[in-house]
Structure 1
Amino acid sequence: MTSPFVPMTVGEIVDAFVEGDNPFYWKAFDGSTAGPEDAKYTVSINSPEGLSYVVTAPGDVGLARAWVTEGLSVEGEHLAHPYGIFDALRELYRKFRKPDFRTMARIMRSLGSMGAIQIQPVPDVERASWIERTLRQGLSKHSKQRDADVISDHYDVGNDFYELFLGDSMTYTCAVYPTEDASLDQAQENKYRLIFDKLRLKPGDRHLDVGCGWGGMVRYAAKQGVKSLGVTLSQEQAEWAQEKIKEEGLEDLAEVRFMDYRDVEENDFDAISAIGLLEHIGVANYPDFFNFLSDKLHVGGLMLNHCITYPDNHKTAKGTFIDRYIFPDGELTGSGTITKAMQDNGFEVLHTENFRFDYMRTLRDWCDNLQENWDEAVALVGAPTAKLWAMYMAGSEWGFEYNVVALHHFLGVKLDDEGGRGDVPERRWWTDAPSSEFS
């Protein structure tokens, strides 16, 4: 005689997915628990929907879906800066396992008995519709239209939202802190100063900034007498940047265009900067990217590539959470792979430098700003989107601290056919900003 089906409790389901000691204490809507009561963090599964997200996509995607929809919550963690939980999440991900077929079948039957088997898209932030539209249109990865859709999807959330955490500089890339106690705006100004100096720019030079964001580098260069052109695939960024250029009286030297960098027709630039763009290019497209930009420079022209990297050269893809909810089609690789790609495609690489701790500090400051302006952020974009950005930035801060990811500068020069590089010096010509500048 067949025994009647006995649904599993939520606590039993959690235990089935976690091998060994559980780093969390779990409390569930059905009254069951899992894990040690003295764990540093207590995780509450608040609804059948939250449980469904965790079970059907165990790992970062499922937990993110549950957290942003309030199907899961963590005691003692601020919504706008959930940094500390990532140590425990790292241990949890290591212990996740897929239950055997019989156990998984019982779990799914148990979900059904709770009414939790139907998974709905995450309100306001689910990108399934974007992915389906892209596939229907037959847009290949990193085609101009698909890249434009991806960038718009991320950056056109609204300038008002970004202003809440980026600070006055409106710069969404790693700052370079001249001192540990420097402010975010001081560090962003120092970053632009450092890149400007590395590129040996001087009044009268012509500069191209690809993926220019809100035009911070363009405006910095123009203020030093350089004619600077920036391009971005975000219309909101371009409009904001052009207004700022007009406000600062830089129209004669600075311009930001809403366009793909591949459509820039001008040539013979003295220097090019790519600050936070390579992550969107795709590793397979590096040869075309670097060859195209090399062709835009005169001999002896310099390029500064500033991008997120992996600590080794074996991985090439971002995690599923970031790819689905933050930067679709984003791709990372190691600094050695990027150096090789530059060397093989138009550049002699003169210098590389790692700024991962600076990005850790940058993200810390962004998280603190978001925390300070949390209620306004939720009012602007809704709680799910605000929580996604909080999780992404806090997780990234943790990742840079623990060398999960890094941030590198790559300085390259365009050579002539005989290997000459014009008047570019043999040795390093730039210096770190004196601390007194930022005291």
Structure 2
Amino acid sequence: MPRLPAREVLGAIATGFAEFPTPLRDEPADGPIGWPGYREARASAEERTGEKESVVCGTAKIGDVEAVLIAFEFGFLGGSLGQRTGDRVEAAFAHARDARLPVVSLIATGGSRMQQGMRALMQLQRVARASALTRASGIPQISVLRDPATGGGWATLGAGADVVLALPEAQVGFAGSRVRPEGSPEAYTAEAKLGWGQVDAIVDPAALGATLERWLRLLTTRSSAAAPPPAALRPAPLPSTGWEAVQAARAPERARAHEYLDAYFEWRADISGDRVGGVDPGVACGFGWRDGRTIAYAAQCGTPTLPAGFRTAARLVRLASRLGLPVLTLVDTPGAANDAAAEQAGVGGAIAAMFEAVATAAIPVTTLVIGEGGSGGALAFAAAESTWVTPDAYFSVTSPEAAAAILKRPASEVPDIANQLHLRPQDLVDLGVARAVVSPAR
């Protein structure tokens, strides 16, 4: 797709853009290391683009939400990061903190400016520090990966944002096209990064403004009140036995996580991936709009939860906690994945990360058990003293089948073991595991 100039991109997604009057530092005409021809290259870039540097920074409204925008101009020396780029980006983040405004970075860069040597590379430290200070202030950051998004721009503003969006077929990677190993060009695409859990969504350029408006509304509308538990979506009697509870939770017609999320929210937006190479399609995480406020969600969708699922959910809870947004979790899993691949991927550490995220959250977490609650893999998603359960769900220390295997009892005794585990919804209330059994909405 064509590489649009920075100001054209800004004009397409925002209104009222006002550029910061950031002064340009004095530097030798040939740059800090006297690179031959640098003076002429800069002059040519200025004439060609009409810009004084490789990045344009200012404030604007995207929809009704005011934000700080950082837009790279690829036509200016490949959107490379130099000393003056660092000055502008640092000032933009400082303004965001002072004005309490979210930050949107529109990235199109080949990386650090080679003609400035280590002075250019050191700008990554400045950018990373400015971003981290802003993150610690509870201000959300969104990055949009244009084409290309490589080198330090990807490894700081791009990959380090709270929500990472990308344009279709954008080139994304730490190594630029001229220095990467031959072969596997598909690995350096936005689509590959989405599949590997490093990008949240691919967005069509025509929909970018509307998508950013929704995300900014979600991430900036705060509320300290806990999320109310959803109502049950299917009328169901309480089970008479533990085995009846297990069968009800495993029934194909029982309502699933996406049905609950669709019924609970007016609209929502998903995040995707654990940022370290994994995606679990059996875990849905994101932010939803309900009754004029934002509620974050992490929902198990009925499959064994993979390490990537726990890490994505932990990422969601930590982000919501930092932004002051309540969280709803939905429990529905036979348990954590326990095969060799899960062990190699660090399932124990991933579960621990989710336990820690929920336990240390600075915001209220509400849990509804909507199906199977299988052992620690389910409990990691559950909030202590703030868990509810539907009539067609159960929660157990382990599955009845696993309990039979552990106790070396025959499969014929599985129904009796289910009864002995006290896993019915009403048992969970009696045991203090759940606060109540939810009823269908009237």
Q: TM-score range by the shorter chain?
A: under 0.3
The structure number with the bigger radius of gyration is: 2
Larger helix fraction of residues: 1
> Highest relative contact order (Cα 8 Å, sep 6+), 1 or 2?
1
Normalising by structure 2, report the TM-score.
0.24
Q: What's the TM-score, normalizing by structure 1? A: 0.24
Larger relative strand fraction: 2
